[in-house]
Amino acid sequence: MIQPSSAHNRILRVSPDSADPESVLRQALERQEHAFRDAVAVMSKLKDDMNSSDVHATGLIDRLQQTLAQVISAQSGVQEAQQRFQLSGQQVSTELRTVLKEQEQTLRQMLTCIQETQVQLEAARNVLIPGIERESRRRSMHAAYQQSMRTL
């Protein structure tokens, strides 16, 4: 499970117009890392609920969709800040390198969690499909039988 990092705890409060491009980029990266951590937390909860056979995971799936939308939104902010930083011609500072390394580690953990969740969801689907197919066949046969009884 992901633990809060120092980058997560030092979100900068600067205006994009008044700050230097590196500060804006660090702030955008830290917002993105926060979104990554939220998504991992929801996926971990979803996996735990699936392990305990909790059938009420729908709310978590909705929450996961919301957090993934936040990840996408944060990514667009990072792209804009990255373009601004590149145009400034500044060199990457040690602090920015640290933030980027933490970001990379968090992203790797998020991808691992996504893969594990996908495997678990596919396994659950494979368990459910035979029962759903049996029920569908039973209902079809019942409907056909009722239809044939009406025609007699």
Assess contact for 78 and 25: CB atoms under 8 A: yes
Look up tokens 């056979």; give the residue. 53
Residue 108 domain flag: yes
Residue 11 domain flag: yes
Predicted local distance difference test score (pLDDT) of residue 127 = 87
Query: Which residues contact residue 82 at a Cβ distance below 8 angstroms, ignoring those fewer than 6 apart?
Result: 25, 28
Q: Which residues of the chain fall below pLDDT 70? A: 1-18, 53-57
Residue 38 domain flag: yes
- What would the pLDDT profile of 54-70 be if each residue is shown by its tens digit? 556 678 888 989 999 99
Residue 103 domain flag: yes
Residue 1 domain flag: no
Predicted local distance difference test score (pLDDT) of residue 149 = 86
Tokens of 114: 């996504």
Predicted local distance difference test score (pLDDT) of residue 57 = 64
Q: How many domains does the chain have?
A: 1
Residue 123 domain flag: yes
3-state secondary structure of 124: helix
Domain extent at residue 74:
6-151
Predicted local distance difference test score (pLDDT) of residue 53 = 62
Predicted local distance difference test score (pLDDT) of residue 55 = 54
Predicted local distance difference test score (pLDDT) of residue 50 = 75
b/e code 74-91 from CB counts within 10 Å (16+ = b): beebbeebeebbeeeeee
Task: State the Cα–Cα distance between residues 58 and 114, nearest whole angstrom.
Answer: 17
